[in-house]
Structures are given as structure tokens and as C-alpha cells.
Structure 1
């Protein structure tokens, strides 16, 4: 047989003729071949078994790891901790409440440059993979194996990073990497690419306490994320690698270099041209940093809001620190600024006047030292009281600071829109931050002090509503009152007395003696309390005669609420601070509507408004007109409490009511003189400056308006000299206003008496407990209310 044919046969069956011949004729060869074939079969079966065991092992590992993976519900409803944001009525961000300063916003509310910077830097193939970049991952794993790292790292995609941020730990282990891989795949199956990008940008940490790009934009640049430009977007994305190392405020050089690198990557990815990139790189790095610990605007007010939200959380089941609520409030930041400016302008003058006159009584100074924590510590260490006092008195700097804190003039200011009850401005104290701590005691709603003569309008309102005319006359003379088993003699603030005085003039000039006579004759304390309650006073009130002079404590908040009733035609509207609460998706949780109630008849209310206008037009509040040139239609009342401890001014226009209190936290400390410490000097200027600026601001729309007189109110010219009807052209004539009931009483008195001096037909509580006495001889300024 030819050789070439023999070779073809060998090629055809895979064995040469010699091998076939040996196999059939040589038993040893056959055994050898059998052993070889058996070995190959065992190798093949072993290989198959290894593949199967490997698959089972990997499957087991995957099954084991999958037990800790997020459920489908968790994937579809991720719950990152979101900050609650608080907005003013004019759309300004006031504050945030959070454990993590994170605010969620829609993708279309995030600058496109921020999205491009993230993709160019972290995952340029983001839109082309399914959550896992196999090429980059395998390369990273090979590097980890070669370098024998115990803490593995890899080229994670944006989706993998999101999986880690939302559901996993940041441990660099093989198991965590595998979990990250599996979770990323599930995320890709659950969300679109844009939704993944939205979730990522709203959850990642940008440093300085800012979670999510919206919080970061406000923290570093004082603007929303939608307004970020190319350079600012690159800065923020740059912090993601290391928020500490690339902090644009503290590590400006590092941040600038990182920013420019990212701008270059954006150009490489095709998001920018080379020329655009060079232009952006040339820009200076400018930040407008706001610390996460910044108290924000109107800090006393937002703290009040926070406490209200904590109460509402129990009712509606939300978490104000995690659920990403949006809270819309009634405050107007423009009015708030005018209020803060008015306080800042006037309070230093009051403080300066006080400091010039104040002298510490030795006994009071010793009491203050004994009350200090440091004194208590020294006593606990074994010092005697005498030794501890001596040691602390020798520490001049410590003692100076202690006494300065005690003698700091404090303030409470609040403004309310009467028609709606909306709180528009709120200053709870001189400074929310005092020294190195937050001084959060709020003098608007937490402080309750004697209101002094600002409480008198409730007395006169009860009288007018009972049909007593505003020109009804009472003696402006001292009288002895037996009240709650004590005998006392009320005095006017100037220690002077006079003859018969109308109720209008008594309120205008804040005469204590006439007010108490009115209470004694016609308006018992129970009636005063009834009317105060109707109009908004909620604090406990003592049912005694001295309540007429403002001896029961109230807060500025409730006093302003009550005075708003005068401005709102006798309708009381409960103060409103929160307008609406929405969840993180913008769906309303609750909307608040004002609670309204008729407190006074419109006729009674108008007569009282006319009397309170008299206080400003020519009474104790005349400085509003004469000194501060505020000429809008307004009413109000000054108040100065006994021994000059508290100074008040409460006033209103048809569109705005406001109350000011100034004084000291320690009631043992008081103003030293009426020259600066009475309501007209210590508090009225703040009210007048606030109102003047509000009405001068065209954006606020507070146009000049007048209190509307009800049709049933009767206006008659009255002679201020004779208290009889007069010609409107008489020099001493003024227009007096009457309700129908008081007009009938006045007419009856004219018919029954030739001279309208007393209105005995009105009856009242005439008892032998009130008797005229000669005025005592005292120095001016003592025993004032």
C-alpha cells in the first residue's frame, strides 16, 4: 500500500496502523490504553464535578448574601433621612430641622451641569451599562488579587455607589462588593437611569453637614441646585471623592485643582468644548458658605415652629427630622427684618440709659452670686458661704460677666395680621445666641409678665359694651379699696389727681384712679376677665380689682392677639404660624385655617378703637405722631408696671397689630427712671419704627386705610369743657362716638339732669368700700402701675 494512502487511513481514524496492530496483538498495550482512557474519564468527570460544585458554591454564596439584600419594597421605596424645610410667606428658606441636612428635589430642579459633572467623573458609561461595568470591575479585582489587599476596592458605577449609600455599609470586603453588585442589578431593574441619577444626587454626602445636592448648593453657594453653574457643579462633585480633603471653604487649593480636573473630564466626555472648559477653569473659586449650625432667619420663630411641629407629629405620625417635610409659615422676612432693625436700633439706647443709673444693691449682688452654679460648686467642695462669696467677688472678670447678663435689657416683639391671624414678625429676645450658647428663652410666648396699663382696654371695653358712654365722668381722686382681704389705694403714675374725668380721657392719659372707680362702680373683675378671654387672653387671671391695672401676667403673643381683635372689627382670629405642611412628595398633610369668633359687637369695637386712637393722637402714645411721624390711622396703649419692671406698647392699624415688651429676665432688676423706662420711651419707639418702615415699603402693599365706622355708631360733637352737645365749629368740640345703648343713656341723662356730670341711671356696683380721700404726699415715680 502506498505511503500516502496509509497516512490518510491514519488521519481518518486517528490511529496509525502500527497502533492498531499493537492494540489487537499486544495485551500489554491494550491494558495501557485502557488505563489511559480510564484516567481521562476520571479527569473529565472530576472537571465536571468541580464546575458543578463551583456553580453550587457560587449559588450558595449568592443565596446567603441575598438574605441581607434590600427587599423589593425597600428598593421601590428608599427612605433616606430627609431634612424638614421651613419657608416664609414670601418664599424664603427660614430654617431646616434634621439629623442629616438632606433635602430632596426633582431631577429637573438640579442643574444639568451637576448631572454632567457627576457622569463625567464617576461613570462616563452610565447610560450604556446595566449597573455593572464588567471590564472595569474585572480589572479592579485582578489588581486587588495581585496586591493582596484586605480592603478591596473597585471601579464602582453610579448605581453601585447608590446601592452602597442607600442600603449597604461602606466596608471594603469581598462580601460587601458582591452584595453591591447584586443590589445594583436590582436597582437597574427597578428604576430608570434618570431616576437612579435623581436618587444618587439627593442622597450622597457633600461635606459640611450637607446631604444631597440641594442642601450642598445652599450650604456652599447660598442658592438652589437648579442655579448651579459649570464651575460650581464641578466643585460640588469634586467633594464626593473626599469631603474633607476637597472642602471648598477650608481646602480651597485642593478644591480648585479638583474642580479644574472635573471640568477637563466634562470636556473629554463631550459635555463642554475645550474653549468652554478653559473659560470655566479660569474662574475664581467663590463660595457663600452657610454653616449647617447657622440659626437662620427669625430663629426664635422657627424654634416656636419646631415645637409646634413636634406636637403635630403625634397627631399625623410624621418625623420632622427624617421625613423631608416642607412647612409653609406665615412670617414675612421683610417685616422680620424691619422688626429686628427696630430692636437693634433702639435697645442699645435703653441699655445705655439703664447702665448710667443702675447701682447694684449689695444684698441683691450677694444673692445673685449665691444663685450661680460656680458658687454651688465651691460650697460642694467644702468652702463656707463666706469663703465662697469672697473668692467669687475677687474674681472681677467672672463677676463682671455675671452681673452684665443679669442687667441685660431683653425684648419681646410680635406682629400679627388681624384679618387672618398670620404672625408676620417675631423677635423673641435680644440675641438668640448669647456668648457661647444659644439663649433660646423666648419672650414672645414663654415669658409672662404684668402688662400694666396695656390691660386697661379690656376694662373700658366691658364698660362700653354695657352701654356706658365714653364721655361718662368719674372722679380722678384716690380711693381706698378692700380687695382680697387687703386694703390698698391706687395712684396715678404721676401721683397727681383731678376732678371729674371722662372715660375717654382716663384711657388716653392712663389714669389708674378713674379706672379703679369704673371697676368699683360698673365693671366687676369677673367681667374684665370675660372680655379678655373673648379677645384672646389665655393666661390665668386673678379675679381682683388690681387686674384692671394689669397685675395678672400675660405673654406678648396673647396680648397682640387680643389687640388684633380691635383692628379686625371685633372679630378675634387665633394666631396662625403654620399655613401648610407637605410631605416629601409635595402632597399636603394638613392645611391650617384661621379659627375665628365674634368677640365684640362692631359698634362697641369701633368706640374702643376711637378711644385707643386718642391715646396715640394726644395721650401717652403721642410720640408715635410727634416724634416718629407715623400718621397712619392707628390706636394703641402704653404700659408701665409697678416699680418700672416692665415697659410695654401695644398698637394696631387696620392691617397690622404689634406688641413690644422690654425689661429684665430677673424681676428684681428694674428700670431706674420713668424718663427712659416707661412704655412710651422704652418700647413705643420700636413699634413706631417697625410700622413706619413697613408702611414705607411698597412691596408689602400696606396702603393707607381707615377704620370703618359701623352705620349704627352715632357721632356727636361734644364740648370738652362742658361735656354737653356742641356745635361742630366750637373750638373745644370733638366728635364723640356712641353705641345705640350708650346714646340712649346719654340722652336720658340730658333729660334728667341739667348738667351731665354723673350718670346715676347707669347703676353699677356702688358700695361703701370706695371713699374719697386726700391724695398722699409722695415723691413722683413711687407706687406706679
Structure 2
């Protein structure tokens, strides 16, 4: 009882604000409520070819928030999980980004893959597009297509691939994982995506390469850990799928300056990137977690944004989706990278494998003279 009362006693304290620390007087209970108002973020960038970690931001302020949202905190990944399903299908079923599949109502019957009831995933819009290519389906994050691909390959194969890609989370072998109902760390997601950019070779992230004493004696030197996971052709096919997301899908605002006053206010548009970018947005249930993972040939970067209290969320997907919460951090960071030539961050296309055996050139985004005239895609992600 005495402990409870102490939470209502006004106390002098220094609290975090976006304008710097502020000395104030409040009760411990009020301070807890105050801190729950802040959105947190986890950001990691690595070089796919070496595993060298270039950026690791575990939170918005280390002094006041010491929980690491990159390597420690695992959060629901939403649609950023879908490329693992597509990769499994392309590898095992010999599919290509240009193959077509029906976006139509779909029910997986009770008992299949051990589910205890019929499973009928729905698209966030409630609409169905009919026959679509895999590239269009991923660009628009169509849930029914991900579910149908999961039905074809089975959850065991998808989970097996994620483990090979370095994901350490315990992922249940259930069909619903196709829509991202799993919790994974930012570091694991960035390393997994980097495998696609590194032609199918997984590189374990390295934060420290060498430690020397004051006399130059090497006390520690890391040994790169790598393994072949996917073929060059399959990896490149996934890269082309992910490029579709930023060409005409939920990540297209990286290129176009439209989206209306709401998006301009919350995202800092325009970014107006012209170079190839492979990426995927993700939004968890109830708009609690927003993700964006984006890659250029020599840099992969993942961003998560959300509240430490998982029950806190945005009321609308428009405000709470990954394209609104997480993508702007990626966009602003990359603009600064490209402004500094010394960083040598690539703006070139991803390397195309010689004698590519998978068809990847399905369609090209519509070119316009004035990018500000392009209507922002209305596709929203809301994965159940």
C-alpha cells in the first residue's frame, strides 16, 4: 500500500522532450503515462556483401529509453514477412514474378496444416482484383495471394527458409504467418533481406571487426559467417518483386510527391528517388507496428516504429501504416546519404545474373513528365 501511495507523490525529475531534457515536478505515475506517449523506433543498416553494420539505432534516446529495439525487441512484422513466402514459392514451384494467380475469396479448410478452424483471410480493402501477377500482388500487398501461395508450399517450407535466412524467432508452422503474424527483430529482418541483395548468400551482421590494444596487438578479430541460401536467379527475382513495391505499390511515395496534405504533413514528402529501390512496407494488427525495409545494391536498411506499450496504436491505417510511420525515416536517411558522395551509397541497378532463367520483366511503371501529378497508390496494409 505504501508503494502505491509513493506513485502519487509529486517529485522533482528531469524528463525527455524532443527539445531536450526538461526539469519538472510530477508524480511517478504521471511520468509513466507521459513516457507512453512517445513513439519508439529501431533502425539498422548493413552492407549485404560483408555483413558490416553501418547504422544501429536502438531507440529515440539512450539516456531515457535504454531498451534496444533493433537486436532485443521482437515485434510483429506484418507484410514484410510476405517476401519469404514468395521466395519459397518461386524456389520450390519454379514460379516467376510474371506468373498470374487469382486474387479472389479463399478459404483454407479446417485440418489443413493442422489448423483447428476454417481460415478465410481477407484483403484490407475488401475488394478482389481477379487475375494478377505475383509482382502486382506483392506490390499491392494482396493477402489472398499470400495465403494461396502458403497453401501451395506449406508453412514448414516457409519457416525452414526463414531459419536459413538467419531469423532466430520461434515461428509457428501455421498458415497465418503468410500475413506476418509473427514477431521478429529488426536485426534479423535486415540480415534476411540482405540475402536477396547479396545474390542469395546470407551474411551474419558484424558490429565489431577488430579490437586492438594500445600497442596494436590484435585482441579480437571477427571471422565473417556466411552461407548459401538461395540461387542468384531466385534472389534476383525477389529483388524485382520488391522493386515493384516502390514503383507502383505501398512504397511508391519514395518516388512521387503526391499523396495530399495529410501525407505531406506526416511523411515529409517529396523524396523523389529515381534509382532502383527494393523494399517492403509492413503494418501489424491494430496499426501498432509500422515497418519499412529498403535496399539498394550495397546497403540494406530496416526501420520499425511503434510504441513500447503494444496496446497503443493509431486509430486509422492511413496514419498507422508502415508507409506513413517507418518509410519516412528511410527516405530522409537515404537523401542524406546521397547528398554525401564520400559514403558511396549506390544508385545503380541491382546486378542481373548472367543467363537468368526466371522471367522478371513483367511490366514497367508508368512514366510521367511531372511526378507530382501521379496519384498516390491507395493500397493500405492491414494484416490479420
TM exceeding 0.5: yes
Superimposed CA distance per residue, residues 368-415 of structure 1 (whole angstroms, 9 cap, x where no aligned partner): xxxxxxx77137x9xxxxxx9xx78xxx95354322212310100000
Equivalence for 1:476: 103
Matched, 1:652 2:261: no
- Counterpart selection for 1:705 from 348, 369, 374: 348
Count of residue pairs brought into register by the alignment: 339
Give me the whole-angstrom Cα distance separating, in 2, the residues matched to 1:608 and 1:534.
Answer: 16
The 5-angstrom pairing of residues 81-480 of structure 1 reads 377-378=3-4, 397-398=26-27, 399-434=29-64, 439-466=65-92, 467-480=94-107
Superimposed CA distance per residue, residues 631-667 of structure 1 (whole angstroms, 9 cap, x where no aligned partner): 2221000000111110000111001000000001111
Q: CA offset at residue 612 of structure 1?
A: 0.5
- Residue 32 of structure 2 aligns to a residue in which SS? helix
Q: CA offset at residue 448 of structure 1?
A: 0.4
Give me the whole-angstrom Cα distance separating, in 2, the residues matched to 1:623 and 1:706.
Answer: 19
Give me the whole-angstrom Cα distance separating, in 1, the residues matched to 2:300 and 2:361.
Answer: 30
- Residue 246 of structure 2 aligns to a residue in which SS? helix
State the structure with more CA Rg.
1
- Residue 606 of structure 1 aligns to a residue in which SS? helix
Give unmatched runs, 5+ long, in structure 1. Answer: 1-374, 382-387, 721-727, 733-779
- Counterpart selection for 1:515 from 142, 146, 154: 146
8 Å CA contact 1:509–1:615 kept in 2: the answer is: yes
8 Å CA contact 2:46–2:300 kept in 1: the answer is: yes
Matched, 1:621 2:243: no
Equivalence for 1:662: 305
- Residue 558 of structure 1 aligns to a residue in which SS? helix
8 Å CA contact 2:98–2:360 kept in 1: the answer is: no
- Counterpart selection for 1:524 from 154, 178, 181: 154
8 Å CA contact 2:194–2:300 kept in 1: the answer is: yes
Give me the whole-angstrom Cα distance separating, in 1, the residues matched to 2:48 and 2:382.
Answer: 35
Give me the whole-angstrom Cα distance separating, in 2, the residues matched to 1:594 and 1:550.
Answer: 30
Matched, 1:537 2:180: no
Q: CA offset at residue 564 of structure 1?
A: 0.8
Equivalence for 2:119: 488
- Residue 323 of structure 2 aligns to a residue in which SS? helix
Q: CA offset at residue 686 of structure 1?
A: 0.5
Q: CA offset at residue 715 of structure 1?
A: 7.3
Give me the whole-angstrom Cα distance separating, in 1, the residues matched to 2:117 and 2:2.
Answer: 39
8 Å CA contact 1:480–1:488 kept in 2: the answer is: yes
Aligned CA RMSD, in angstroms, stands at: 2.7
- Residue 255 of structure 2 aligns to a residue in which SS? helix
Query: Closer, same or farther in 2 for the Cα pair 1:662/1:782, shift >3 Å?
Result: closer
Give unmatched runs, 5+ long, in structure 2. Answer: 10-24, 257-269, 368-378
Give me the whole-angstrom Cα distance separating, in 1, the residues matched to 2:96 and 2:140.
Answer: 17
Q: CA offset at residue 782 of structure 1?
A: 11
Give me the whole-angstrom Cα distance separating, in 2, the residues matched to 1:487 and 1:715.
Answer: 34
**Bigger RCO of structures 1 and 2 (CA < 8 A, at least 6 apart):** 2
8 Å CA contact 2:292–2:327 kept in 1: the answer is: yes
Give me the whole-angstrom Cα distance separating, in 1, the residues matched to 2:55 and 2:333.
Answer: 10
Equivalence for 2:199: 569
8 Å CA contact 1:416–1:560 kept in 2: the answer is: yes
Equivalence for 1:636: 279
Equivalence for 1:506: 137
Equivalence for 1:677: 320
Q: CA offset at residue 479 of structure 1?
A: 2.2
Give me the whole-angstrom Cα distance separating, in 2, the residues matched to 1:717 and 1:377.
Answer: 63
8 Å CA contact 2:100–2:131 kept in 1: the answer is: yes
8 Å CA contact 2:284–2:382 kept in 1: the answer is: no
8 Å CA contact 1:491–1:783 kept in 2: the answer is: no
Superimposed CA distance per residue, residues 218-267 of structure 1 (whole angstroms, 9 cap, x where no aligned partner): xxxxxxxxxxxxxxxxxxxxxxxxxxxxxxxxxxxxxxxxxxxxxxxxxx
8 Å CA contact 1:643–1:782 kept in 2: the answer is: no
Give me the whole-angstrom Cα distance separating, in 2, the residues matched to 1:618 and 1:411.
Answer: 26
Decide which structure has greater strand share. Answer: 2
- Residue 46 of structure 2 aligns to a residue in which SS? strand
- Residue 126 of structure 2 aligns to a residue in which SS? coil
- Residue 43 of structure 2 aligns to a residue in which SS? strand
8 Å CA contact 1:418–1:565 kept in 2: the answer is: yes
Give me the whole-angstrom Cα distance separating, in 2, the residues matched to 1:376 and 1:515.
Answer: 54
- Residue 614 of structure 1 aligns to a residue in which SS? helix
